[in-house]
Chains A and B, each alone.
Chain A
Amino acid sequence: MLGFIIRRLIAMLLTLVAVSIVAFAIIQLPPGDYLTSYIAQLSSTGDQVDPRVIENLRVQYGLGEPFYIQYWKWITGIVQGNFGQSFEWKRPVWELIWGRLGNSIMVEGLAVIVMWVIAVPIGIYVAVRKYSLGDYLATVAGFIGLAVPNFFFALILMYLAYIWFGTTMGGLFSPQFETARWSLPRIWDFLAHAWAPVLVLATAGTAELIRILRANLLDELQKPYVTTARAKGLPEWKVILKYPVRLALNPLISTIGWLLPALVSGSVIVSVVMNLPTAGPMLLRSLTTQDMYLAGAIILLLSVLTVIGTVISDILLALIDPRIRYGSK
């Protein structure tokens, strides 16, 4: 088990290195370098450009040097907690993003929880009551849930809220709680705002989870060990919950591996539509203004979060499935 975790962590480190290279490549993609645009921006606002400052920055970022040296300077900075400067905001990138990243994690984490809480009972029900009315309803709802794009769902929800209640949905906090410390009222305020984006984000994933769980469970229900459990004299609900459901949940946990990237992707666009103070809108803004160190940092951190989430789900899977833990099959 320890070996498995270590192997998985090493693989994660390699993935993280690859992620950082991709993120840095994206920083480098736009024509011209950061400094040129910085100088251009400074001069356009009429500021004096101190040649010494320029020279310092040039050395700090390794501009004009080969790609790998620039990358090395960037990544060592990041490891030490220095994500570079946002030239639009003229502030360190880290200061700008950590709060928003926290919001991203909260919204996405809630979405994952909501998905599971909704999908597992429904998935079990539709598999056990195959071809019942509930099964058909869930299937239809599932197909629609998968086909409606996140942002479109968000738009419709906002439209309906505006038409019916005259409220503009959006944001994660009321103004008075925006910068307040965490407290019960603030948590309440957050939940009152967050339910809509969380619901939007969770729809597609819930539909997918139900579909997978139903298929897995239908497979498992046919397995001989279910008959064995019945032959023991266990009540039917216990037979189903202890054996086939337990086995059908295992592959479901591994779906986090691709559910999470989709969720992070979706949250970017939903945040833009619903005007959430998460990393998404800031990424979009930084990309349109070519504030590349900020954009690179956000892409890097969102990907890192995804990778870490996936590794956690892998380890979780190994913990609950002895077949993986003991390396059989």
Chain B
Amino acid sequence: MATETMHLDVTHPVAIKRPARESQFGLMWRRFKRHKLAVVSLWIAALFYAVALFAEFLAPVDPSAYSARYTYAPPQGLHFVAVNEDGGWEFGPYVYGYKTEIDPVALRRTFVIDEEVRLPVRFFAESKPYNLFGFIPLTTKFIGVENPRDPFYILGADRLGRDMLSRLIHGTRISLSIGLAGVTLSLFFGIVIGGFAGYYGGWFDSATMRVVEFIRSMPTIPLWLGLAAAMPKDWSALQTYFAITLILSLIGWTELARVVRGRFLSLRTEDFVTAAQLDGASDWRIITRHMVPSFMSHIIAAATLAIPGMILAETALSFLGLGLQAPIVSWGTLLQDAQNIRTLASAPWLLAPGVCVVVIILAMNFFGDGLRDAADPHGR
């Protein structure tokens, strides 16, 4: 019996089951758009994924191209407006050049930004031929210096004089794709195992739930480390990549399985499922036609919220040196260079990948929260 409402909220929103024909996703999208922060986050995440997709085009240079002449060169930044000596303004993108100084204490050569030298920069610049997505031959990069011999380090250079920005862009591809791949794999395990457990119940359900509880009660990083350490050292980059994905999802599937099982359990007793059973529909048909569509949105939201964890796990593993290995560029392997505090003090731009991690995790969390609210406006 309902207690009388104190707010006199007479117009309680009633859960209206719309006819299936009106797209569930259209409805969800309308509700999603109300969360401003989630919409902004969606755009940020989309931007990141676009960067990952077009990495070759967007990265000014090859991420592994090194130049011993510019080790730890500081970020040049990108400038658009210049003031000439005569006070006139000049427009057009450019970066500053470098001059070298000898550090009197450490007796080391360091680079300093030379504001006297302006190196013009051009969008859609000519470059050495390369293949976009590995098969589309192109000779244009999104951005580049006019004279290819000039240094071009918008975000600075690393220990080998490699361009941080290019490495970051390529790292984005690896880190984000491993997140997606890991979640896809987890989703597969989660739906199959959680679905079985939720739909059939019984001993399989309780056994699965014990396993899920068990895995969730273990500290994940030691486990991940242990599994990752067992990878043969002579595996190729691709093999490592898939092995790491698999390792991440071996633990990541539990949360999704729990969500799927929960939805299955609650739906199993719903009238429309009983009705379908009474109509003699097969289990397969009931699951695919009646149950899955009704909680697809929840699954998508849960999967979105699982991505940040995956990205974080990959970054942590690679950072510790047990995940992806050196020739592969990911945010985690990039951050490995930042482990030494003295290096970091002279080259703080090495922390840039960490900033990317924070931004994408924030964006995915807000986006996922928005999706979850949109999928279920009443519950939580």
Chain A residues close to B by CB (< 8 Å) = 15, 18-19, 22-23, 26, 29-31, 143-144, 146-149, 151-152, 155-156, 158-159, 162-163, 168-170, 215, 224, 257-258, 260-266, 268-269, 272-273, 283-284, 287-288, 290, 295-296, 298-299, 302-303, 306-307, 310
Contacts and interface: CB of A to CB of B under 8 A. Distances in A.
Contacts of B228: 287
Interface in B351-371: 351, 354, 357-358, 361-362, 365-366
Interface of B: 3, 214, 216-223, 225-230, 232, 308, 312, 315-316, 319-322, 335, 338-339, 341-342, 344-345, 348, 351, 354, 357-358, 361-362, 365-366, 380
B7 to A, nearest CB: 10
A287 B226 contact: yes
Given A162-B345, A295-B229, A149 B315 contact: yes
B216 A288 contact: no
Contact of A149 (B220, B223, B342, B354): B354
Interface centre among A268, A272, A298, A303 (most CB of B within 10 A): A268
B326 to A, nearest CB: 14
A310 B217 contact: yes
Contacts of B339: 155, 273
B101 to A, nearest CB: 19
A22 B320 contact: no
A75 to B, nearest CB: 17
A174 to B, nearest CB: 17
B145 to A, nearest CB: 30
Contacts of B229: 29-30, 287-288, 290, 295
A30 B319 CA distance: 21
Given A144-B362, A159-B341, A159-B351, A269 B227 contact: no
B217 A261 contact: yes
Contacts of A149: 312, 315-316, 354, 357-358, 361
Given A19-B218, A26-B227, A159-B351, 4 more contacts: A268-B219, A296-B226, A298-B222, A302-B222
Contacts of B380: 215
B315 A29 contact: no
A265 B219 CA distance: 5
A174 B214 CA distance: 39
A288 B316 contact: no
A213 to B, nearest CB: 15
B316 A147 contact: no
Contacts of B345: 159, 162-163
A261 B316 contact: no
A143 B223 CA distance: 27
B346 to A, nearest CB: 10
B358 A148 contact: yes
A146 B365 contact: yes
11 contacts: A23-B226, A26-B227, A149-B358, A151-B335, A159-B345, A268-B221, A268-B222, A287-B229, A287-B322, A288-B322, A306-B218
A147 B227 contact: no
Nearest to B214: A18
Contact of A159 (B216, B344, B361): B344
A-B pairs, 7 with minimum CB distance: A29-B230, A265-B221, A264-B219, A287-B229, A26-B226, A152-B354, A147-B361
Contacts of A310: 217
B227 A29 contact: yes
A149 B316 CA distance: 8
Given A146-B365, A269-B320, A299 B232 contact: no
A262 B357 CA distance: 18
A306 B219 contact: yes
Contacts of B315: 149
Contacts of B220: 261-262, 265
A295 B344 CA distance: 30
A152 B322 contact: no
